[in-house]
C-alpha cells in the first residue's frame, strides 16, 4: 500500500527532523491512525518529494526525512485552464480534475453567463477553499507541484495579460475540433484553454479575438461547457479535455 502523502507549506531539506504542522499531524495520527515508525511522503511544492518516518511521542508528532527524491509527475508542456465560473459547487470538482489532468495554472473567470458571482470576503474564502482542494488533489494523485489558482477575473482583463503559447477559446459551435487544433503541438508546449460556464461564452466574449493584444486567440470546437459531472456522456467540461489532450501530452 502506498505511503500517505502530505504537502508542507515550508521548504524541506534532506535528512531533517521536522515538527509536523497541526493539520498534518492530526490527519496522520488521528484520522489515518499511523503509528510511530510508519512511513509517509512529504513534498513542499518546489519539485520532488521526501520519504519520511513518522515519530510520535505523546502529543508531539515529528517526521524524519530521508534523501530528496526528484520524481516528478508533470506534463512535458503547460496547460492553463481559463474557466468560466459554473454554478453551485461545480468548481470544486473542476479544480480536483484539473489537478489530476496536469493543469498547471487555473484562472476563474466571472463570465457574462456565470450564475455564481463572487466578490470581497466571499471571493477570498472561495479562493482559499479551491486552493485547499488543489493541495489535497495533488497529495492524492502523486503530483509534487501545486496547481496555481489565480483570483477571479473577467475575460477582458485576462486577455490584456501577456501569456505564453497558444490560446484556444472552446465553444461547441466553433469549426475546428479541439484535438485538431492541437495536432501540431508536440514535446515542449504551452496552451491556455478557455472553457465557458454552463451557458457557454456570450457572443461578446466569443468575439474577443479582435481585442486580444498579446498573442493570437484561436477558436476550437469542443463540448466543454461545464455541467454536472457525468451528464452528457461524461465528456462535458474538464472531463472531456483528457480525451482531446491525449495526442499532446502522451508520448
What pLDDT, on the 0 to 100 scale, is given for residue 225? 45
How many C-beta atoms surround the C-beta of residue 194 within 10 A?
Answer: 29
105 - beta bridge partners?
80, 148
CA 165 to chain centre: 18
Q: Do 149 and 40 share a domain, yes or no? A: no
Residue 138 has pLDDT above 60, yes or no: yes
Cα(238)–Cα(66) distance, integer angstroms: 36
Helices first, then strands: H and E counts in the chain: 7, 11
pLDDT, averaged across the chain: 83
Amino acid 215: pLDDT: 47
| Per-residue model confidence (pLDDT) at position 233 | 28
Residue 70 falls inside a structural domain: no
Q: How many domains does the chain have?
A: 2
State the CATH number of the domain containing residue 106: 3.40.1280.10
Q: How many CA atoms lie within 13 A of 180 on its CB side?
A: 9
Same domain, 93 and 59: no
For strands 105-109 and 78-84, give the pairing. parallel
Q: Give the pLDDT confidence score for residue 220 in this predicted structure.
A: 59
- Average pLDDT rounded to a whole number, residues 227-250: 43
pLDDT of residue 151: 93
| Lowest-pLDDT choice from 146-155, 163-172, 222-231 | 222-231
Give yes or no: residues 164 and 111 share one domain: yes
When pLDDT is cut at 50, 70 and 90, the band that residue 114 belongs to is confident
**Is residue 130 in some structural domain?**
yes
CATH of residue 40: 2.40.240.20
- Among 33, 37, 71, smallest CA distance to 55 is for 37
Its sign, for the CA torsion 201, 244, 89, 157, is negative
Are 24 and 112 contained in the same domain? no
Neighbours of 93 (CB within 10 A): 18
Q: Is 222 helix (H, G, I), strand (E, B) or coil?
A: coil
Give the closest residue to 101 by CA, choosing from 132, 126, 138, 71: 138
Strand order across the beta sheet in which 105-109 lies: 148-149, 105-109, 78-84, 190-195, 166-171, 217-221
- The residue with greater pLDDT, 166 or 74, is 74
Q: Which of 50-54, 84-88, 91-95 has the lowest mean pLDDT?
A: 84-88
Residue 72 lies in a domain: no
Task: Give the domain extent around 133.
Answer: 78-249
The torsion defined by the Cα of 18, 19, 23 and 25, in degrees rounded to 10, comes to 100
Structural domain includes residue 228: yes
The residue that leads in pLDDT, 25 or 241, is 25
Based on the domain organization, do 218 and 117 belong to the same domain? yes
Structure-model confidence comparison of residues 1 and 220, the more confident one = 1
Amino acid at each position: 500500500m502506498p505511503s500517505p502523502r502530505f504537502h508542507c507549506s515550508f521548504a524541506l531539506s534532506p535528512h531533517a527532523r521536522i515538527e509536523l504542522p497541526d493539520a498534518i499531524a492530526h490527519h496522520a495520527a488521528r484520522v489515518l491512525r499511523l503509528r510511530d515508525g510508519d512511513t509517509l511522503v512529504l513534498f513542499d511544492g518546489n519539485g520532488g518529494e521526501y520519504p519520511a518516518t513518522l515519530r510520535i511521542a505523546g502529543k508531539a508528532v515529528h517526521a524524519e526525512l530521508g534523501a530528496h527524491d526528484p520524481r516528478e509527475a508533470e506534463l512535458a508542456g503547460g496547460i492553463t485552464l481559463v474557466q468560466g465560473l459554473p454554478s453551485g459547487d461545480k468548481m470544486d470538482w473542476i479544480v480536483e480534475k484539473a489537478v489530476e489532468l496536469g493543469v498547471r495554472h487555473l484562472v476563474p473567470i466571472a463570465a457574462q453567463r456565470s450564475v455564481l458571482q463572487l466578490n470581497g470576503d466571499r471571493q477570498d474564502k472561495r479562493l482559499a477553499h479551491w486552493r485547499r482542494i488543489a493541495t489535497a488533489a495533488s497529495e492524492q494523485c502523486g503530483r509534487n507541484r501545486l496547481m496555481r489558482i489565480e483570483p477571479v477575473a473577467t475575460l477582458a482583463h485576462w486577455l490584456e495579460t501577456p501569456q505564453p503559447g497558444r490560446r484556444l477559446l472552446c465553444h461547441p459551435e466553433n469549426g475546428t475540433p479541439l484535438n485538431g487544433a492541437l495536432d501540431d503541438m508536440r514535446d515542449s508546449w504551452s496552451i491556455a484553454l478557455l472553457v465557458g460556464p454552463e451557458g457557454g461564452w456570450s457572443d461578446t466574449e466569443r468575439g474577443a479575438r479582435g481585442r486580444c493584444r498579446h498573442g493570437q486567440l484561436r477558436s476550437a470546437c469542443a463540448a466543454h461547457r461545464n455541467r454536472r459531472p457525468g451528464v452528457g456522456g461524461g465528456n462535458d467540461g474538464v472531463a472531456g479535455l483528457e480525451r482531446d489532450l491525449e495526442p499532446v501530452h502522451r508520448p
